[in-house]
Amino acid sequence: MPYRLTVIGTGYLGITHAACMADLGYDVLGLDIDADKIRRLNSGDLPIHEPGLEPVLRRGIESGRLRFTTSYEEVAAFGDVHFVCVGTPQKRGEYAADVSYMDNAITSLAPFLDRECLVVGKSTVPVGTAERLAGILTQLAPAGVQAELAWNPEFLREGFAVQDTLNPDRIVLGVRTERAEKVLREVYEPLGEVPVVVTDFPTAELVKSAANSFLATKISFINAMAEVCEAAHADVQQLSLALSYDDRIGGRFLNPGLGFGGGCLPKDIRAFMARAGELGADQALTFLREVDMINMRRRARMVDLARELAGGSFHGCTVGVLGAAFKPNSDDIRDSPALDVAVTIGHQGGQVTVYDPIALDNARKAHPELKYGDSAVEAVRGAHVVLLLTEWQEFVDLDPEELGAVVATRRIVDGRNALNSEAWRSAGWHYRALGRP
Ligand code: UGA
């Protein structure tokens, strides 16, 4: 392999990128400022839940091709191509993204860059960030213009991170020189035939914001239809199915329910609006405010439906909540609609017990005020209302009779339109779902 790679930031994106690149045969050095995490990673212990990633990480460590460090000096000496994968969360009390981790990564790395290399941003950032960082890089790096910036946004989904990294739909390269394009094409060559779009910095940055905005809009579109369906006594599930047969619309990301959460979609559409405002293009994105509001209304509607089933008030009511992660096959609880609903019901006087197959530890740390069960059955024992809020397969496969035997009353709200309503109704459950009669 012609290049040695480094990966700065070991979140969902960074760990996956580092482990997959090592699996493709590269020598890879990962960096994080969290020494504890680095120790775990170096012993092959994955600090997050991501299906299929641990064996790839272990293979990398055992082969000697993959290591992790906390030293920027070591990273600079080791790498020809440095991928920056740090987080860009929403600023507290603001819509804008906090890019300080990105700035810190560049200002920490640059002073050690004394030879030709490529620094590649992969994080989701406000458009214009790459150009600003490129300036900082040339200013601080002893190698000057020989230490060049490129922008290569990442589109992986949690839960499918390995698959998405090794078989991406497309590769977007924001580059300023032929050299940068050549290096990155070579780096990704082992992935085989993948469409590559070569463009400038701002376009590369915008592709990512646009993609996540489109996905969020699609989800909020079907959830808006769910609101109308509820008012008109129609069935949004059947509506969505009928729409999906039109190739121009397509069925993916058209599942109505509790809406989107996680560390990306909600904060990305907000950061995009904030950035458009700074650029004087805020009108172009006012629709994203609606997208956000439709999404947040689903959570409120869920609480209302649950309260309705509880008889008008949560006081003296036990609520069993199935799901804490923002989506199935993930332990991520960032901006999780499920936990948001659980916490709100708790505030309104309900006795809430939550169960999730993987995200319980994270949920406990973030919300020690809630009660937790060790299984679905334990969480719903004695419940007056059961809420399905994350569509884990384990919940889809639940036996309505088995659950019915432990609850106080057989009432369930299916927040993800994931259950077989007929089966639950015929087992004597009062079954309700968002957007359905
Ligand atoms: C999302 C994008 O899908 C990735 O392409 C992108 O790379 C990533 O953000 C990122 O910016 O890093 P992710 O946050 O892992 O990926 O999750 P998604 O699978 O997109 O799901 C987001 C949310 O939408 C979940 O809460 C999910 O339950 C919800 N959703 C999804 C729906 O409510 N309905 C749907 O039909 C689909």
Token duo for residue 178: 């032929």
The catalytic position among 85, 229, 264, 317 is 264
Please tell me the predicted confidence (pLDDT) of residue 2.
85
Q: Cβ–Cβ contacts within 10 Å for residue 342, how many?
A: 26
Residues with CB under 6 A from ligand 1: 124, 154-158, 212, 215, 219, 253-255, 257, 259-262, 264-265, 268, 326-327
What is the reported pLDDT for 164?
98
pLDDT of residue 247: 97
Query: What is the reported pTM?
Result: 0.96
First-to-last alpha carbon distance for the chain, in angstroms, is 59
* 411-414/385-388 β-pairing: parallel
Q: For residue 265, how far is its CA from the centre of ligand 1 (angstroms)? A: 6
pLDDT score, position 241: 97
The domains spanning 4-199 and 215-433 adopt the same CATH topology: yes
- Segments making up each domain of the chain, as ranges: 4-199, 215-433
Give the pLDDT of residue 378. 98
Pocket test for ligand 1, best of 50, 264, 294 (most atoms within 8 A of CB): 264
229 given a catalytic annotation: no
Instruction: Tell whether 255 is in a known binding site.
Output: yes
Cα 240 to middle of ligand 1, angstroms: 18
Q: Tell me the C-alpha distance between 321 and 360, whole Å.
A: 12
CATH of 215-433, one of 3.40.640.10, 1.10.287.3510, 3.40.50.720, 3.30.365.10: 3.40.50.720
Span from the CA of 148 to the centroid of ligand 1 (angstroms): 32
User: What is the structure's pLDDT at 398?
Assistant: 98
Atom of ligand 1 nearest to the CA of 258: 33
Per-residue pLDDT of the chain (437 residues; tens, 9 = 90+): 789 999 999 999 999 999 999 999 999 999 999 999 999 999 999 999 999 999 999 999 999 999 999 999 999 999 999 999 999 999 999 999 999 999 999 999 999 999 999 999 999 999 999 999 999 999 999 999 999 999 999 999 999 999 999 999 999 999 999 999 999 999 999 999 999 999 999 999 999 999 999 999 999 999 999 999 999 999 999 999 999 999 999 999 999 999 999 999 999 999 999 999 999 999 999 999 999 999 999 999 999 999 999 999 999 999 999 999 999 999 999 999 999 999 999 999 999 999 999 999 999 999 999 999 999 999 999 999 999 999 999 999 999 999 999 999 999 999 999 999 999 999 999 999 999 98
Q: Determine which residue's CA is closest to atom 24 belonging to ligand 1.
A: 260
Known binding residue 256? Answer is yes
> Which CATH number is 4-199 given?
3.40.50.720
